[in-house]
Structure 1
Amino acid sequence: MSKPLLKFCGVRSFEDYKLVSKSNADYIGFIFAESKRRVDPRSVKEWISNVDFSGKKLVAVFVNPSEVEINQVLKEVPIDVIQFHGNESVEEIKKIRDTFKGAVWKALHHHSNTLEEMEDYQDIVDGFIIDSRLKGQWGGTGVSFDWSAVPKYIMFSRNNNKLCFIAGGVNENNIEKLLTYNPQAIDLSSGIEVDEQKSKDKIQEVEERVLKYVNLSR
C-alpha cells in the first residue's frame, strides 16, 4: 500500500507546534472553535513566523463559523484548507467556497446515513473527515468508530476524486489495525498526546508503525 497522508490536529501551543512542524505529517490542524484545543490566530501567526512548518499544509478547523470568524483567521494565517466540523449546510459552505482559494473539507460523523451525507456535500468539498459520533461533541473525542465501515467511505471518495481522512481515537496502539483497511489519510489529535500536550514519543511511534506497515505490505 502507499503511505497514507497524515494530519496532526489540535495543535494548541508553541511546544506542540514545534514538535508537529518537525514531524512527517502532511497537514497541521489548528482549531478555531470552542474547544479545549482552541487557539488564537495571532498566536499561530507568531508560531509559524518563528519556526518554519517545512512545507506542510495548514488546516483551519471551524464549527458553524460566521464569515467574520473565518476572515479573522485568514487575515492572520496562510491557511491551505478550511475544515468544517459542525452542521454547516451545503449553501453555507458554498458561500465560503466561492471566495476561498484553498481546499475545503467537511467532517461527518460515522452513522447509518453517512454515505448519503457525503453525496450531499460531494460537489462543493475537496475531502471528508469521518469521525466518531459522541453526544455533545463535534470531534476530538479519543473514541474510534467501527472501522469495518472504512472501505465504503474510501471507495466513495476515490470514485469522486475526494480525499478521505479517518479520525477518532487513532493512536499508536491501534493504527496498524486501521492501516489494514488501506485508508487514504489519517487524522490524529488526542492519540498523539500525553497530559493534553503533543508527545514526541507518540508521534514517532505512530510514524514508525505507519512506515513499517507500508513497507511490509509492498
Structure 2
Amino acid sequence: MTRVKICGLRDTATIQAMDGLPVHEIGFMFAKSRRQVAPALAAELIAEVRKLRSRDGSAMRAVGVFVNPTMDELRETLQTAPLDVVQLHGEESPAFCEDVRRTFGTAVWKVFSVTEDHAAADDSDGPARLEAYRGCVDAFLIDTAGGGTGRTFAWHAIDRYKSAAAGMPLYVAGGLHPDNVAELLSRYSPDGVDVSSGVETDGAKDRTKIRLFAERVQGL
C-alpha cells in the first residue's frame, strides 16, 4: 500500500475530518512558512491525530517538518509536541540525523531537492546523495527544489532515486494533487506520497480534495 502524508495542517476540524481515510501521516510545519505552527498549537493538533485511525485501522503518525534545526530547537519542540517523525529539509548531515534518532527516539526522514540537473538522465550525483544517509534515517523524501512550490519535478528521475534508496522507503512530493497522483503511481510506484498545496483551495486545506487525493492513491 502506498502511504499518504498530508502536510501543513493548522486546524482541528480538518484533522478530525480525516478519521477513516487512507491517510498514514499528518505533517506540521515548524520551519518558516505560511503554514508554520507553534509547538503549543501543534501539541493540541497532535492530540487530535492520536484519536484518528486510517482506513486500515492503523494509527496515523504526526510528522514535524524542520529546516536546519539545532538539537536544542528540536528538544524544545519535542518537549511540547510529541512527534512520531522528524522530517529534515536542510543540509543536515548523516551524523546529525543519527543523533536525532538516538536522542529523541523518533523516526527521521531526510528530504532531498530534485533540481533540473539532478533530474537529467545522465546525472548520478543527485541520487548518490542518499547513500551516506542509509542506516541513519528511516525514509527518504524527494521534492521539487525550493519545497512548497506547487510544481512537479521531472518524474523520470524517480527510478534512479529508488535505486539509490536501496530498499528504504521513498516518498515523493512536489506539485501533487488529486488529478495527477494516479499517473505518478502507475508509472513509478513510490512507497509514499506527500501533498500540501495540492489539497488546498485559496490557501486553506480543502477536506474534499484531501479525501479525493487519499482515495485516488489507493485506487478507490
- Give TM-score, length-normalised by structure 1: 0.86
Amino acid at match of 2:163: M
Q: CA deviation at 1:108?
A: 0.3
AA of the residue aligned to 2:109: W
Alignment pair present for 1:42 and 2:49: no
Shift of 1:120: 2.0
In 2, the alpha carbon distance for the partners of 1:93 and 1:50 equals 27
Q: Identity over aligned residues, as a percent?
A: 36
Q: What is the CA–CA distance in structure 1 between the aligned matches of 2:25 and 2:192, rounded to whole Å?
A: 10
Which residue in the other structure is 1:103 paired with?
107
How many equivalent pairs are there? 205
1:91-118 per-residue CA deviation (whole Å, 9 max, x = no partner) reads: 3223323312121110001142321110
Q: Does 1:169 align with 2:175?
A: yes
Q: 1:85 is aligned with what amino acid?
A: H
In structure 2, distance between residues paired with 1:128 and 1:66: 20
CA-atom RMSD, angstroms? 1.8
45-54 or 94-103: bigger deviation: 45-54
Q: Which residue of 2 aligns with 1:127?
A: 139
| Cα deviation code 1:21-76 (max 9, x no counterpart) | 55321001111111111101111222343562331011111100011211122112
* Alpha-carbon distance in 1 for matches of 2:130, 2:48: 38
Counterpart residue number, 2:189 = 182
For structure 1, list consecutive stretches of 5 or more residues without a partner in the other structure. Answer: 214-218
2: CA distance, partners of 1:166 / 1:12: 22
**Residues 1:83 and 2:87 aligned together:** yes
**What secondary structure is seen at the aligned counterpart in 2 of 1:7?**
strand
Q: What pairs with 1:1-12 in structure 2 (closer than 5 Å)?
A: 3-12=1-10
Partner of 1:216: none
Distance change (3 Å), C-alpha of 1:97 and 1:63: same
Structure 2 counterpart of 1:44, which letter?
A
1:24 aligns with 2:28: no
Which whole-Å CA distance do the structure 1 matches of 2:31 and 2:77 have between them? Answer: 11
